[in-house]
Structure formats: C-alpha cells, structure tokens
Structure 1
Amino acid sequence: MRDESRPIPDVPGSNRTGRFRFWLAEQRWEWSDEVAALHGYAPGTVTPTTELLLEHKHPDDRAEVADTLAQVVSTGLPFSSHHRLVDTTGAVRHVLVVGDQMRDDSGAVIGTEGFYIDVTDTVDEERRDTIEEAVPEIVAARALIEQAKGALMTVYGISADQAFRVLRWRSQVTNTKLRDLSEALMPAVTELGGADTPTRARFDHLLLTVHERDGTAAGHRP
C-alpha cells in the first residue's frame, strides 16, 4: 500500500496549483496546503470531506460536480472538471481539477489523486479581452445615437430624453436596430443641406453671442 504518512507533493513553481488524494473505500480526502488555501483555509486547519468540498462549489456548478464525484466513486476512472468554487471569504474562483487513478502495490485502484489549478486570472483576462474587443463598437454605436439625438433635439426643439424616445419608437416600429437607424439618419440629415436661411441666420447669431448669456460668460462663472 502507499505510505499515507507521505505528504502530498505540490507542483513546483506555482502557489495556484495544489494536489489532492481521495481514498475510495474510506471516502477520505487529503488536500495539500495550496488546495486548502484555494478554499480559504490556513494549512492544517481543515479536514476535507465530500460534504465540505461540495459546500464550496458554486451553487450553479454543484450538481455537476456531485455527479462527477459519484462517477469517480462508482467507477474509479480518471476525470477532469472545470468549475467554480467559493472560498471562505465568499470570493469565487475558477478551477480546473484533474484526477487520475491511485493504485496500491498490487495495481488495484484504491482511489484518485490529482491536482487543482486556479485559472481565475485566465478567465478574467479572457473576459477583459472580450470586453475590450467590444468597447470600440459600443462607443461607436453610442456616438451615432448621440448624433441622431442631437439632430432631433435641434430640429424639433426637444430634450435629450424626448429625442431618444423618438428614436426608440422608430426603431421598434420599423424593427431596425437603434444603431442602424441612427447610422442611416445622419447622412440623410446632411443631404438635406441644413436649415433654411432664416434659421441659419438665427443660429449664426446664437453661435456668436451664446458666450454672453447668463452663466456662460467667464465673468459669470461661479
């Protein structure tokens, strides 16, 4: 039989990776200090059990992990699982758990042993990459919508909220995405050639004198 007093060796070079063992007959777990730390425990302060292990699984992943453990117990076959655990502080960590057969000196399968890898940083990086890829498109769409709102506000003399409601109404009625509607509207507004001469004259005067209005001129700033 294996020497059960022998400590579980850890994978060198990373405190985000640790080893575990599980004896089938005894339903007994061993965690390295790194695996205990992943769950939020100081070294030597916890005795792992199947119940405790499942308690730390994210509620949305718990049933799947329980099924995997049941298969390991019944078959003793190797397994792998990518899931979330919740440590003692409530922090959610993404982990990859890989287990292989543990055999005695006669070759009989007596349990499973393997390792945990904390892949939270990798998942976060992938999320950030996805967000960063989407941000330019989001910003561009927002700019188009703001331009369309500005055009409606100027032409109809309405507020920003009212202009947005008009755009949203046309988007729903025509079954056209708000961005696409705004993108089509702005070139069409330009093609109109601007306002008529009296309106332009009034706007010219406003543009040249707006700084003199109350609260706008430098001398009136608080």
Structure 2
Amino acid sequence: MSETVHENPGAGDRTAEAADPPGGSAEHVGSFRYWFDSGRWEWSDEVAAMHGYRAGEIEPTTELLRSHKHPDDRAGFDELVEKMLSARVHFSSRHRIVDTRGRIHSVVVISRNFQGLDGRAAGSEGFYLDLGVICEDVDAPSDDEVQERVSEQVQEFRENNATIEQAKGMLMLMYGIEADRAFDVLRWRSQQENRKLRDICAGLVRSVAARTQMPEEVRREFDLVLLHPFDE
C-alpha cells in the first residue's frame, strides 16, 4: 500500500460560504490529475473556479498552484510536492488558496495514485473540497463536520470514478488502446460536448448497454478466457 502525505497548515481557519466564481454559482467540489514524470496537471472547471479562473482560461502548473497557496502554506506545499515526486505517493491536505480576486479559500484535497502500464504509480488523482471563503467573524466548521463532508465526497468520488473506469475499459477493449489514451478520448469528448467527464462516461456506459449486442461467438470466447487458469 502506498504512503499518504498529509498536510494541515490551515486547520484553524475560520470560514464562510464560498462566493460565486466568475459567471455563475460556485461548485464546491472539483477533480484534478497529476502525472509524476511529466509534471502535467489537469483540473476540472470547478477547481479552476476555486482559483478564480474561467473554464479553459489557463493551464494549471506546479508554479501556478504554488502561487495561489497562502504565503504561510507554501513551504508545506513545497515539501508535499517534493515528497510526492521522490516517493511517488498520493496525499491528503487541508490548506488555504488565494484566488485571483484575493479571496482566501480553505480547502481539503483528497487523492490516490493511478498506475501506468508498467504497474508503477504514474500519478495522483482526486478532488478539491472548498470549505469556503475565510471570514474572521464566522467560526470554522468542526473537525467532525469537515470529516463528514469529506467522507461524503470520497464516496461520491468513488462512485464517479467507477463509472469513468468502466467507460475507459470499454474503449480499451474496443480499440485496443492504453488506459491513458482511453482517458484522453473521454476527456476530448467531454470538452467537445461541454459536459462533465462523469456525465459523458455515464452516458457511454448506458448507451453501450442499451445499443450494443455482443455476438454469441465472442461471448463464448470470453467464457473460455474467464475460466482458463491465469498465470501468477
């Protein structure tokens, strides 16, 4: 089991409801992905909005993310990234980010590793949970309240991720492609349709089940593969 890096510099922050991002009401949960070797980040529109950006306005980088950390939390962020890269571990943290309008958000970040074709950890993926914009006259949520909200979002993330993995598997089998390429196709369709990735994947899974008839000879061949002894 991989090690988890924990960071908690902003646990004493006091928070209020998050203000609206540009152009609409705030989504308090958003996803991200990070590749260890290339250092490439991806974030959802919701995470971009937490930092004050519109969808597609800017590409996230380690330097950009660091610049949005509260000054008191940057040293912890630097240590977290260094540990994540050197040991290839995922992380959880609670810290503060400063959006483009200067508002300070208290956020919880939860992640897990995903594997490459070689079976090694290729990167980390997970979600941001925005606890709100800090306000000095409002009490912070209690630890129990934060844990409850995190647990709810972990469950939702698992359910959404299961659908995404199912859709990826369909593309991998159908086109004989690798997991990363299947994810790229789904992400492209998400951008093309201007819909959330999880919705695109759920629609694909439903449509395949409803419209695709598996030939009997293919099913019989799969039976043989399933029942054949697997190598250790």
Taking structure 2 as the reference length, the TM-score comes to 0.46
Q: Which has the higher helix share?
A: 1
Taking structure 1 as the reference length, the TM-score comes to 0.48
> Greater RCO between the two (CA within 8 Å, min separation 6)?
2
Larger Rg: 1
